[in-house]
Amino acid sequence: MHQMNTDSTSITKKYLRRLTCLALGLGGLTTTAFAQNFIPEGKWRGVFHRPDGTDVPFNFELKGKSAATAKIYLLNGGERFETGGIVSKGDSILIAFDQFDNELALKAGSKNLSGVLRKKDHTGITTRVDAVFGETYRFADNGEKPVADISGTYDVVFKSRNGTEEKKVGLFKQNGSKLNATFMSITGDSRFLEGVVQGNQFKLSAFIGGGASYYTGTIDSAGNFSGNANGQPFTAKKNAAAALPDPYKLTYLKDGYASLDFTLPDADGNKISLKDDKFKNKVVIITIGGTWCPNCMDEATFMAHWYKKNKDRGVEVVGVQFERNADPAYVKNALENFRKRFGITYTEVFGGIADKKAVAESFPALNTFLSFPTILFIDKKGNVDKIYTGFTGPATGKYYTQFIKEFNEEVTKLTNQSAI
């Protein structure tokens, strides 16, 4: 997920004065009821305004007529991603994105919203945003018909500013001028991107609360294309056989290690160890992630549901969360919010600060650490059997289905019981 911010100097003095008043008005709020029809129930179209003049659209839907019942869903490629709580007073509202420590601070008209995306603690740079009720399109239709159907699988190369290259696999599905896509890498995928093809150009965007993703591209006569992803250039060549390295071979134990152990605190500070009686003679699945990580959210959605159905097969799951803040109150709130949002009933512990080097230090048996999340399969004797780097989420279609199949086959092998 690429964080999108706007330089505060681009906001006019008039806008800053209005925003200051809004922030003061919202500072001590508790959740209060919406006035009837304060914000129209239904679909909205929002636009983030970047400092370079680029407008990045997103879509969302409001359900409910009071703060006590209202829910807002961010819409991306058919996905409905629920936001956090809503706080309202008068014509001002806050919409929380708890997993990202972000919020939208907005002033409401009868059928429009305007304000900023900002950090909850008001640090950092804000991004201006406007939204209009009743507009359901994402990118405006300019009347140009697509020059080609770019549906298919692509070898993609992203180039960084320092000249290094990262290979990914692009998955595109076009229906008329509408386009859905995702990019898979060894660390995960870019989740649900939605957009349009107009002439020989395409645009894609996504937003789930952390920052908006924005991709553009130009299609050539062969059906390949070059593009830009939040300032990072890439090229793509169609290849039905495009593939990434085997995710089971990227992370492994160093020579001399067969197992691993840790003693880490849960949300209440209780020490949890793989040597605890709860885990003895059981298959244990370790997920190394963070509550702030979009692919970890996809992994938790899968794992929470799977565990509820399969926990009686002699299997336990431990989610080791690495967070952006080590303050105990912050960690407790982050883990509890994550547990509640995704319906997690398995064990969660705090691993440390979200840094790959810190993870490597906490798990010295690993040859390296490449990705949040990473999944480890441990047999009944406590030995590590397999390690899966990254997560292939639901936006990847058949690749997600394949992951689930392989996951269940591995657990069935270790437990000698078929998945439910």
CATH 3.40.30.10 given to domain 263-415: yes
- Which pLDDT score, from 0 to 100, does residue 417 have? 66
Q: How remote is the C-alpha of 185 from its chain's centroid?
A: 14
Better-predicted residue by pLDDT, 173 or 262: 173
Domain ranges in the chain are 8-133, 152-238, 263-415
What band does 34 get if pLDDT is binned at 50, 70 and 90?
Answer: very low
CA distances 39 to 66, 72, 177, Å, are 9, 11, 31
Three-state secondary-structure class, residue 9: helix
Domain 152-238: homologous superfamily in CATH: Quinohemoprotein amine dehydrogenase alpha subunit, domain 2 (2.40.128.120)
- Which pLDDT score, from 0 to 100, does residue 418 have? 63
How much is the average pLDDT of 216-233? 95
What confidence tens digit (pLDDT) does each residue in 365-386 have? 999 999 999 999 999 999 999 9
How much is the average pLDDT of 324-334? 96
Q: Which of 27-41, 44-58, 96-110, 226-240 has the lowest mean pLDDT?
A: 27-41
What band does 357 get if pLDDT is binned at 50, 70 and 90?
Answer: confident
**How many angstroms separate the CA atoms of 237 and 226, rounded?**
9
List, as one string, the DSSP characters of 313-377: GTEEEEEEEEES---HHHHHHHHHHHHHHHT--SEEEEEEES-HHHHHHH-TTBS----SSEEEE
What confidence tens digit (pLDDT) does each residue in 129-148 have? 999 999 999 999 999 999 99
Q: Which long-range contacts (CB under 8 A, 24 or more apart) does 260-263 make?
A: 260/363, 260/365, 260/366, 260/376, 260/378, 260/384, 261/382, 262/320, 262/351, 262/362, 262/363
Query: Does this chain's domain 8-133 share its CATH topology with 152-238?
Result: yes
- Which pLDDT score, from 0 to 100, does residue 419 have? 60
Q: Which fold has domain 8-133?
A: Lipocalin (2.40.128)
User: Which residue reads 């996809």 in tokens?
Assistant: 298
Q: How remote is the C-alpha of 313 from its chain's centroid?
A: 30
- Which pLDDT score, from 0 to 100, does residue 214 have? 97
How much is the average pLDDT of 9-33? 41
What confidence tens digit (pLDDT) does each residue in 46-90 have? 999 998 889 999 999 999 887 678 899 999 998 999 998 898 888
Three-state secondary-structure class, residue 194: strand
Residue 104 Ramachandran class (φ > 0 left, ψ -120 to 50 alpha, else beta):
beta
CB distance 196 to 62 below 8 Å? no
